[in-house]
A = this chain, B = another copy of it.
Amino acid sequence: MSEAAPGLRAEELGAYFALVEVSNLLQYAVDEHLRVDGALSYVQFQVLARLVDSPEGKLRMTDLADGVVYSRSGLTYQAGLLDKRGLITRSPSPDDERSVIVAVTDAGRDLVAQVLPGHVDRVQHLLFEALTADDVAALNSVLGKIRDHMRAAPPRSAKPRARRNQAG
């Protein structure tokens, strides 16, 4: 594609390839760590982390699906696995009988606590070890810009901005 990239200048192409490669390598390293150290997939880790990070350690299924960007059935599946392992509990919401409240258990908190240092360590090591403070600032700024842009401007094709996981 070196020559066949109309619309992307060399520098952009380079940045694109670097982004894909970096995130693939990072994802691979992080996935492996979570799997080995905590028997968790990244999605499962995200779910637990969000719960731990929430004020009361509980969120509705919908909130979780919103955050993790996941199909509802996929989330049910993952929640089932976490439930089976005693890392979360699920109970009907008192406010809205349709909703399910997911709560981290102590075991879930322990597992996150066990896994988080190594996780952070990997990220620190892989992503930031070689960077100056200025690099980090620049990266943060530019990626933030891109993220805001992506959120605001869905692909031209786009559906009415609906979440990806909406029944069929």
Contact = CB atoms under 8 A, between A and B. Distances in A.
A98 to B, nearest CB: 28
A128 interface: yes
Given A2-B53, A116-B4, A164-B28, A153 B140 contact: no
A11 to B, nearest CB: 5
A138 interface: yes
Interface residues of A, number: 66
A69 interface: yes
A139 interface: yes
B22 A143 contact: yes
A145 B124 contact: no
A4 B50 CA distance: 12
A131 B150 contact: no
B138 A142 contact: yes
